[in-house]
Amino acid sequence: MKRILNLFLYELKYAFRGIRKHLVLSFSAISSMAVSVFLIGCFLLIGIHVDHFAANVQQDMQIHVVLDSNLTSQDEIDSMEKKIKKIDNVETVIFSSKDDELELMIREKGEAFSQYRGQENPLSHAFFVVVKESSMIEETAAEIETLEGVDSTAFGGSSVTELIHLMDVVRKAGYVLSALLLILSLYLIYNTIRTTIYSRQDEINIMRTVGATDSFIRTPFEVQGILIGLLGALIPFLLVYFGYPILYERMNGVLFASLFSLIDSSTIRYIVGFGMLGCGLFVGFFASFFAVRKTIKAKR
């Protein structure tokens, strides 16, 4: 037990010594880590915002289903609701009686319609249908319209569907790009750390001839990798941690329109900030793990 503790202390000693004695290499590894993590952070920021916007827009997306005016009994309304619910893409169906419809109309079109309150209400009962997949809203509306007893359907219109399609493309492209970037930065940092280890190939061989086990040689490099990863991620972390709230204040929490509301600072600090720190730690450890393992195995 004491022996293992001693070994670990010696390994730590060599980890810090390695950074101190190879300051230039460590610094270049830290800066390339900082740049990569910053880019990953940016894509993460864009990605979750597009997601957030899309969710906002989709929340407003529902189909207004107006029933035939002769459809009045509760039984008929219930069976109608069941029929609509059976359609694949339908998430929820909310009943809106003809009185509700009138109030809605008065609110939207003006007090002039208030004279229809009471017995004179010429409107029909209706449903608001929320769909699961908003990009399919057009097809779902058409399907509802074919049902017996439905007079007409309406939703945001083609401009909204186009926006939704566009967002879908942006979101997918964003995910692909950030995945590619993550792989790229892993590779970049793997190569940087591998270079620092290759420059010490002789040292590693000497350590082995003196009787150092693989883990005794490897641990200092892994600790260095983690430190380099964390230090490299710290710079973009601070940028996001203190920079995003300022950006948020300046933009008044929205991007162009209230539909595109920005995510509040504490959530971003948590998700993007700690996501970046985690990325740095993960990439730093694995890059050095693979690089040093390859070097150790090179000689018996």
Partner 1 sequence: MIELRNVTKSYPNGVHALNRISLSIEDGEFIYIIGPTGSGKSTIIKILNGEEVPDSGTVVVDGINVGALKHRKVPYYRRNIGCIFQDYRLLPKLTVQENIAFALEVLGISKKKIRKRVTEILDLVDLKEKARAYPDELSGGQQQRVTIGRAIANKPKLLIADEPTGNLDPEKSKEIMELLEKINAMGTTVLMVTHDIVLVEKFKKRTVTLDQGFVVKDSKKGGYVSL
For partner 1, the closer of residues 6 and 72 by Cβ is 6
The rounded distance, in Å, linking the Cα atoms of 26 and 48 is: 32
The rounded distance, in Å, linking the Cα atoms of 223 and 263 is: 35
Pick the binder of partner 1 from 179, 183, 206, 246 (CB under 8 A).
Answer: 206
**E strand or H helix at 257, and its extent?**
strand 257-261
Interaction between residue 21 and partner 1 (CB under 8 A): yes
Residues 216 and 11: beta-carbon distance below 8 Å: yes
Pick the binder of partner 1 from 23, 24, 112, 210 (CB under 8 A).
Answer: 210
Can you name the residues that pair with 95 across neighbouring β-strands? Answer: 127
Interaction between residue 24 and partner 1 (CB under 8 A): no
The rounded distance, in Å, linking the Cα atoms of 275 and 262 is: 18
For partner 1, the closer of residues 21 and 165 by Cβ is 21
With CA atoms as reference, report the closest residue to 219 among 1, 2, 13, 3: 13
Each residue 168-187 as x (binds partner 1 by CB under 8 A) or -, in order, gives --------------------
Interaction between residue 107 and partner 1 (CB under 8 A): no
Interaction between residue 212 and partner 1 (CB under 8 A): yes
Q: Cβ 16 to partner 1, closest distance in Å?
A: 13
Task: Give the amino acid at 241.
Answer: Y
For partner 1, the closer of residues 82 and 299 by Cβ is 299
With CB under 8 A as the contact rule, which of the stretches 212-220, 233-241, 246-254, 277-285 interacts with partner 1? Answer: 212-220
Using CA atoms, how far residue 193 sits from 82, 149, 196, 252, in Å, is 62, 69, 5, 42
Interacting residues with partner 1 (CB under 8 A): 2-4, 6-7, 10, 17, 21, 203, 205-214, 216, 297, 299-300
